[in-house]
Structure 1
């Protein structure tokens, strides 16, 4: 019998061993083990943190504004969602609502979470920042695998105000300042959860004692519009200049064609009146714009109701229907691994 060269013999032996390894069945390693098999239904999601998207001058110093990103690891161009956190116009901690952001990323969206200037900075600083965040994503769309023609915004409470303002001021150059000005800040969809649509009547329908609080010059909506009392300036109530307050409100920018809206509010909200969402919905429909209004029965302002699966799925599915379903990083249908 003709002998094979040693190198060839070794190669065949290694190939045979590799085929056994690739089969995933190494003998002698299963004793005592609970062997499971999984379907590859979930892709990887990369988390990118502390990205500086803008540098601005605030009332106290020059500061950097940050965002974080969740980026599904696939080669397709993906729609993007920018989440703006609530905080009563006094804070904007962009690490909130991870449950919602992860669900969107798992569905295949690139998900940004962005901070913005708050009181003592005054309007229009937050809106300027929000538009800068949109422009940043468009400028870096290729880097993050984003389809720049499909960018939506999402926010809760004061973040809902942000989402509304950005969508309702598409094409308005008043708020375009800073970097990446060659890029558009227009958005193609907006979802607002228990958001503020009119700074003049946040407490409408509440007891008079609560409504009276909103007439103080120290309440945050008044500080946002008029600034803080200082030296000879005593401050001003929100209704001391209704025209100025309305110009700083989403309801002051309602006319004309607008992108689709998802408007959600809790029926038991005692902080931001459900009237805020109702009046936004009616105004959008009156102008002939697409809008869905969902009232969450018994839900308070930002309580645990908003973190439940039906609520999160409602938001995810709405964005998929509105912006176009991305290639999912995790299968949205029945999980084939659910019974493991």
Structure 2
């Protein structure tokens, strides 16, 4: 009997100890800690999950179907988070969407779901990039629950040609002609636009530059001309951007300044020798003229996409502006946290 009682008491003690461990009681730092340097860590930020290779759209060409991809940075918590869609620059000829990790990671650490998307470029022509950008926004809304996104708060960020595309998404809110493809029951409108050294007027990219630079932009081989008019082929002669001003303005953000616009943050480098700072000045003036919320920041001494744009003051400015404009993540109830995807 004594032996049985002792075993019972011992078992109870072990059960109590186990239940304490399960309840989160930390074991004492004894024995196995001999000689170790003890580090005490207080968690201050969320884990960020990287999700790559997501197909957000499929587009048909003459003989093939092309998949368009995006990648995600998702703070791992149960909050309902605003989302930022990043659109990369590349002179209208490339869309390397996994770049600018410094900016994207800072936005994720600030509590945003950050999606980076590729889009069609030259030799594809306008409006294909805008169609793709809007498809990416619709995808985010259609899959908001899977990534913990607040579908009512989606912003867009782009640099250079990606800045042009971000601007186009913002100024064409409500224009249905660019909405094609999947998830047509979702809105492609965005609630905030940040554009870095972007293009607002394809007719005047070299404004204020020496004439030899402006002559380059008059060429039918300039990338903006190829975007709008395509290459010369068979019975199509191609054309310089200035030869088709109506088409050029339809493909320019300044050609869509009417109606209500989302808030804009416009940033440009004062020393930019590739895209004239007048591009951002003109956009700022146009948005101000219709009393649309807009901030314009000129980064002193910054060239086009140079090291200035990777520094904390620039990244912090963009991050803080999105937080002020879109708001902070929203805490959700415990029952929603128990959802299988609630940890995203």
2:101 maps to 1:113: no
User: Equivalents in 2 of 1:9, 1:90: separation in Å?
Assistant: 73
CA contact (8 A) 1:88 1:220 kept: yes
2:183 maps to 1:191: no
**1:59-87: CA deviations, max 9, x gaps?**
67320100011111111111000000000
Q: Which residue in 1 is equivalent to 2:271?
A: 268
Among 157, 179, 182, the alignment partner of 2:182 is 179
**1:143-171: CA deviations, max 9, x gaps?**
11111100000000000011000010000
User: Equivalents in 1 of 2:201, 2:75: separation in Å?
Assistant: 36
Q: How far apart are 1:29 and its partner, in Å?
A: 3.1
User: Equivalents in 2 of 1:266, 1:285: separation in Å?
Assistant: 20
* TM-score after normalising by structure 1: 0.92
2:143 maps to 1:140: yes
Among 85, 89, 95, the alignment partner of 2:88 is 85
**1:177-208: CA deviations, max 9, x gaps?**
00000000000000000001110000100111
Q: Which residue in 2 is equivalent to 1:221?
A: 224
The SS at the match of 2:236 is coil
Q: Which residue in 1 is equivalent to 2:256?
A: 253
Among 198, 210, 213, the alignment partner of 1:210 is 213
The SS at the match of 1:206 is coil
User: Equivalents in 2 of 1:9, 1:150: separation in Å?
Assistant: 57
User: Equivalents in 2 of 1:38, 1:304: separation in Å?
Assistant: 33
The SS at the match of 2:218 is coil
Structure 1 unmatched runs, 5+: 329-340
User: Equivalents in 1 of 2:273, 2:168: separation in Å?
Assistant: 23
2:170 maps to 1:131: no
Structure 2 unmatched runs, 5+: 332-344
User: Equivalents in 1 of 2:29, 2:20: separation in Å?
Assistant: 11
Aligned length: 328
2:335 maps to 1:324: no
In the superposition, relative to structure 1, how do residues 286 and 161 fare at CA in structure 2: closer, same or farther (>3 Å)? same
Q: How far apart are 1:33 and its partner, in Å?
A: 2.3
User: Equivalents in 1 of 2:182, 2:13: separation in Å?
Assistant: 60
CA contact (8 A) 1:132 1:179 kept: yes
Q: How far apart are 1:274 and its partner, in Å?
A: 0.5
CA contact (8 A) 1:58 1:121 kept: no
Q: How far apart are 1:28 and its partner, in Å?
A: 2.6
